[in-house]
Amino acid sequence: MQALKGTHDILPEEVYKWDYMEGVIRAVCSRYGYKEIRTPIIEATELFQRGIGDTTDVVTKEMYTFKDRGDRSVTLRPENTASAVRAYLEHKMYGDQQVHKMFYIGSMFRYDRPQAGRYREFHQFGLEVLGASSPLADAEVIAMACEIFHRLGLKNLDLHLNSIGDRNCRPAYRQKLIEFFEAKKDQLCEDCRERLYKNPLRILDCKEEGCKKASEGAPEITDYLCEECHNKFEAVKHYLDALGISYTVDPRLVRGLDYYTNTAFEIQYPPLGAQSAVCGGGRYDGLVEEIGGPSTPGIGFAIGLERLLLALDMQNLIPVPAVNKKVYIAALGEDAIAAGFKIQEELRSRHVIADMDLQGRSLKGQMKQAGRMNAVYTIIIGSNELEKGKAVVKTMETGTQQELPFEEVADYIVTEETNSNRL
């Protein structure tokens, strides 16, 4: 049996890397005032149809959707924004008129074509700010993404920034775009020909060569922004400038759906190649309403953790954790093992890492194992020791040994530890 295509195990030897990334992320989140939210991995399909949009690739082609035993259509979440907004509404968080800042870390599922940096089950860290319409929130969210990368030591990232306007100014732009692409329909891929009337903005970020070429010279949204959207975009840029965060305005960075408004951004790490986007986000002032709630502004982003890990590994930025220092208990014979087992429990309850054989090794084999594990102390209980009711405690570094009554062993090691700091 093998893990499903596009899914992967995170083995015990790798988990420290995830702990490290998540530790840095959590620390930054708490400084910025974000609280964690954990939502179910499975939701009603309709939530994503409405919350992501039923003309997007994610919804039309990539969702893990199936009927449960009660004949309800359910879906493994392809992203977490819709679920976070659902929770915000279900628990009436809007009732307190406050800004809510939430973050999440977890698995997402998309039936995508697997390749380096693209999986069917992948992990995202993301956040959502609900209830804040100020462009300062947009700038703060972007600054926070940059701060996370900075804390992790990642350099050479490119921040792409755009504004996609709002319900007032986007329709005119959309119309211009349709007119522009209608004349070039033959050059578009099949998907984009379909998108032309449903979701023409998406043609701009199609990766097909023909579509890229056809997009050359296309009208740019920044020329169509209404005064309000223009001013908001200028304010976001102004705040980023104030922090010295550099960015490229990229008019091709779009999101096609009505509930996305104003700021859109993406952070790329070019050495990752084809899948270089490590972070994507933007403002979605129409989403809460779309899901059935009161009009509420929102902004958020998500970072792909597998891609972030690849980038960190490429730059050797993940510190290897110190090896745990241990006590090993070597014992032979049932009664000796029982005595050792008791000492092991006492040590563990006093915060000492202790271990003993579970494979029926000989005493010699156990001593070897203590060496392999780089034990700091080895406690030996053979038949002689059992008779005397004493264990041999060997300090591995110096080779010195002494005999101690069983009940004094843990005390001795804990005191030694306080004095010598070996453990």
Contact residues for ligand AMP, defined by CB under 6 A? 79, 110, 112, 117-119, 122, 124, 277-280, 302, 304, 306-307
- Residue of 24, 114, 12 lying closest to 305 (CA atoms): 24
CB of 209 to ligand AMP, least distance (A): 22
Q: Write phi, then psi, for 267 (nearest 5 degrees).
A: -115, 125
Q: Which is nearer to ligand AMP, 59 or 413 (CB)?
A: 59
Q: Which is nearer to ligand AMP, 277 or 373 (CB)?
A: 277
Distance of CA 95 to the CA centre of its chain: 29
Which run of H or of E encompasses 15? helix 15-31
Which run of H or of E encompasses 90? helix 81-90
Task: Specify the residue for token string 């910025």.
Answer: 32
Q: Which is nearer to ligand AMP, 130 or 343 (CB)?
A: 130
Q: Which is nearer to ligand AMP, 79 or 128 (CB)?
A: 79
Task: Specify the residue for token string 């976001």.
Answer: 236
> How many other CB atoms are there within 10 angstroms of residue 32's CB atom?
16
CA gap 20, 11 in Å, rounded:
15
CB of 76 to ligand AMP, least distance (A): 13
CB of 124 to ligand AMP, least distance (A): 5
Q: Which is nearer to ligand AMP, 112 or 147 (CB)?
A: 112
Q: Which is nearer to ligand AMP, 122 or 181 (CB)?
A: 122
Q: Which is nearer to ligand AMP, 46 or 62 (CB)?
A: 62
CB of 306 to ligand AMP, least distance (A): 5
CB of 205 to ligand AMP, least distance (A): 11
CB of 195 to ligand AMP, least distance (A): 17
CA gap 157, 179 in Å, rounded:
35
The edge-to-edge listing of strands for the beta sheet with 390-395 is 354-356, 327-331, 377-381, 390-395, 401-405
Contacts of 334 (CB under 8 A, 6+ apart): none
CB of 31 to ligand AMP, least distance (A): 22
Q: Which is nearer to ligand AMP, 218 or 277 (CB)?
A: 277
Q: Are 218 and 201 in contact (CB under 8 A)?
A: no
Q: Are 391 and 413 in contact (CB under 8 A)?
A: no
CB of 222 to ligand AMP, least distance (A): 21
Alpha helices in 183-333 (DSSP H): 190-198, 209-215, 227-243, 287-290, 305-314
Task: Specify the residue for token string 């890397």.
Answer: 17
Q: Which residue is nearest to ligand AMP (CB)?
A: 304
DSSP annotation of 398 reads T
Q: Which is nearer to ligand AMP, 276 or 395 (CB)?
A: 276
Q: Are 356 and 347 in contact (CB under 8 A)?
A: no
CB of 328 to ligand AMP, least distance (A): 41
CB of 339 to ligand AMP, least distance (A): 52
Angle at 123 between CA 301 and CA 19, to 5 degrees: 105
Output the DSSP codes for 258-292.
TT-EEEEEEEE-GGGGGG-EEEEEEE-TTHHHHTT
Q: Which is nearer to ligand AMP, 119 or 406 (CB)?
A: 119
DSSP annotation of 115 reads B
Q: Are 250 and 280 in contact (CB under 8 A)?
A: no
